[in-house]
Every structure is written in C-alpha cells, then in structure tokens.
Amino acid sequence: MRNTHTEENYLKAIFHLISDTHTVTINELSKILDVKMPSVNNMMKKFAEKKWVIYENYKPLIITPLGMKEAALVVRKHRLTEMFLVEKMNFGWENVHEIAEQLEHVHSAMFFDKMDEILNYPRFDPHGEPIPDKDGNIIAQELKKLSSCKSGDSVLFKAVTYSDDDFLHYLNDRNIQLEMQLEIVKVENFDKSFLVNTPAGSVHLSSNAADKMLVK
C-alpha cells in the first residue's frame, strides 16, 4: 500500500529531527508539523503498526531501521527534485523548495531513479544536504558551523542548515556560494558578526547567518 501524503510529511519531519537532535518526541512533531498532539499520537500508533517506530506513552519515539529507510526515501525524492530543478532547469537554489514539496509525493520510484541517473547520481542537493540513495543510505559529512570558527581560519563552505528563501537571497546578495573558500578576517566581540574574505571580495556576515552555514 502506498504511503499517504500525510504519512510522508510525518516521515520527513522524523528524518529532520533525527538529523538535528537525534531524538523524536510527540511534542516536537506537533510543533514542526503544526498538528495537535492527539493527532500525532494517533499517527504514531499507525507507524508502530507498520513497524516504523516503537511507541510508548510519554517516552521519546524509537525509530526502527525500516522507519528510517522510509523516511530517507521521502527525503531522497525531495532532494533529487531540488537538484534536478537547479541543474537541469536552471532554477536558483532559493526557488526550489516549494516545488520539491509538491513533487516529493510522486510515488514512482522509477521516476526518481531515472532522475538520479540523469543527474549522474549526485551525493548532495543544491543546499549541500546529502541525498539518500535508492536503498535509503546516506553519506555523512563531518561539518561544523561557521559561527564556531575564529579569526584566521580558512574554511570551505559546504552546506546550509536552513534553506529559507530570505536566507538564500541574503547569501546571493553577497555572492556566496557552496564550495567557496572563506577566510575569516575578524569576529566582532560585540555582536559576533564575521568579516570574511571570499573569491568575490570581502563581506560582513551576521552571527545569525554564520550559525546557519556549515563548513569544513
């Protein structure tokens, strides 16, 4: 039986919570999905029946290997779509998220496997996030936040933790792109903003922006 759109949205939320905090609770899912907690409880009982989670009242959810694979495959569809829109249709990285939100619910695995082949099996999406393979496997990256760096550091910009349109426009306005070498000239004591040298010139970055940029 095919997963419903609602189930896929829950699976994707679980994937992101596991990636960010390593724990999943009913309360966190309720906040992320803007759904009342009784509805989340009911859905997690269904997930438990499918062997995707181990569910106990008032305890964090345990996500089973089967559940993680199902979640990763939803994320795969989303991230492949974003990559296709950027690489083959010339969309900007700031314009692809909402379109991918719609196309990620296409059920044909063959469709996305063909998309993967056309793209030559990319490992990462336009925002630097890893793309799961067709078995749900993910290549992990060892990255740190730009905000953790200090003056004198030279780092490679690899990913963003937040793909909001406004933030991506903020980076576009400063000509900052993935795979760009960044040299930290100064970190302001007052507001923790950054002065950074890039191949396109020197730019100031807010502490908020630096906290959303992942580097190595």
* DSSP, res 60: -
pTM over 0.85: yes
Domain with CATH 2.30.30.90 in the chain: 144-215
Q: Is the pLDDT at 1 greater than 80, yes or no?
A: no
The predicted model gives 36-40 an average pLDDT of 96
Name the nearest CA neighbour of 204 among 146, 148, 159, 160. 146
Do residues 208 and 149 touch, judged by C-beta distance below 8 A? Answer: no
pLDDT at 106: 96
CATH architecture entry for 144-215: Roll (2.30)
Yes or no: say if 72 and 8 are a contact pair by the CB < 8 Å rule: no
**How far is residue 177's CA from residue 198's CA, in Å, rounded to a whole number?**
10
Give the per-residue pLDDT at 13.
96
Is a pLDDT exceeding 90 seen at residue 94? yes
The segment(s) of the chain belonging to CATH 1.10.10.10 are 1-140
Q: What pLDDT, on the 0 to 100 scale, is given for residue 20?
A: 81
Helix, strand, coil share (%) of the chain residues, nearest 5: 45, 15, 40
Query: Tokens 């009784």 correspond to what residue?
Result: 38
Angle, helices 5-21 vs 37-49, to 10°: value is: 90
Cα 114 to Cα 71, 129, 163, 167, distances in angstroms:
20, 20, 25, 31
Q: Is the pLDDT of residue 21 over 80?
A: no
1 vs 172, which has greater pLDDT?
172
Amino acid at residue number 154: S
User: What CATH architecture is 1-140?
Assistant: Orthogonal Bundle (1.10)
**What's the rounded Cα separation, in Å, for the pair 169 and 97?**
13
Q: For the ranges 15-29, 41-55, 69-83, which has the lowest average pLDDT?
A: 15-29
Average pLDDT across the chain, whole number: 96
Q: Are 211 and 188 in contact (CB under 8 A)?
A: no
Confidence (pLDDT) at 171: 97
Higher model confidence: residue 45 or residue 21?
Answer: 45
User: Residue 172: pLDDT band by 50, 70, 90 thresholds?
Assistant: very high
Average pLDDT estimate for 141-159: 96
